[in-house]
Structure 1
């Protein structure tokens, strides 16, 4: 499942992505024609995964081990009619994973979610 439409910019420490996949009626996360705000975590995680792949030059299977300090600033993802903008920053890189902070805003730069997440890679 790919939810991110494009990478807008990236560096060794940061990635900026954008998408409109939350507007698609066939979004794989949609249930009863609705998307939970909890799904914003998946958008952040996918940005983290893209960043890891860009840095390493390969795909590395892994799992989201922890999400901390998640602050949701909206009640429904269905009210967002424009693009989502995801900014993820690598805070700590270890041999088999990383810790990122990420924030997701709408096209008017209104904060929707900010959180920290840990990913652990299952293969080197």
Structure 2
């Protein structure tokens, strides 16, 4: 994986449909045509928008991975073009290793690898680890692109 460009949180927010505190990724660490690696400490923020009275629960790691996938799609788009509108259609074979993530020390490492895809859908494999490399979540996700529902949700 290479890092032809790195992006901070503001640069990421310009390339995904999430802004403000809902942009969960802090930094693009590396990417290439097949994969992306981002880091973040937003899980530790008391104002994290996904936090509930029970804390920040581990199923939210799927959203962290989905944002990395959206960023990857934006980076692959032709210069100056808008990325394809998309939505997370399914998450499969998800394995969560912790109950909550707001008590995880250090940055989260968010990895996604594009396995296959075309103009209408993309399959990614994802993994989220803590700063030491301990697995927190992994699985596969299908993103559906350019459908009326996806375009309506991103309008």
Shorter-chain TM range is over 0.9
How many residue pairs were aligned?
124
Pairwise CA RMSD: 1.5
Give 2:116's aligned residue. 92
Contact 2:68 2:110 (C-alpha < 8 Å) held by counterparts: yes
TM-score w.r.t. length of structure 2: 0.76
Q: Which stretches in structure 2 are left out of the alignment for 5+ residues?
A: 1-21
Give 1:36's aligned residue. 57
Shift of 1:116: 0.1
SS of residue in 2 equivalent to 1:78: coil
Q: Tell which has more relative contact order, 1 or 2 (C-alpha 8 A, sep 6+).
A: 1
SS of residue in 2 equivalent to 1:79: coil
After superposition, residues 11-90 of structure 1 pair within 5 angstroms as 11-32=32-53, 34-57=55-78, 58-90=82-114
In proportion to residue count, which structure has more strand? 1
* Distance in 1 of aligned mates of 2:64 and 2:84: 18
Shift of 1:93: 1.4
SS of residue in 1 equivalent to 2:102: helix
Q: Which has the larger radius of gyration?
A: 2
Give 2:27's aligned residue. 6
4+ long deviations beyond 6 Å: none
TM-score w.r.t. length of structure 1: 0.94
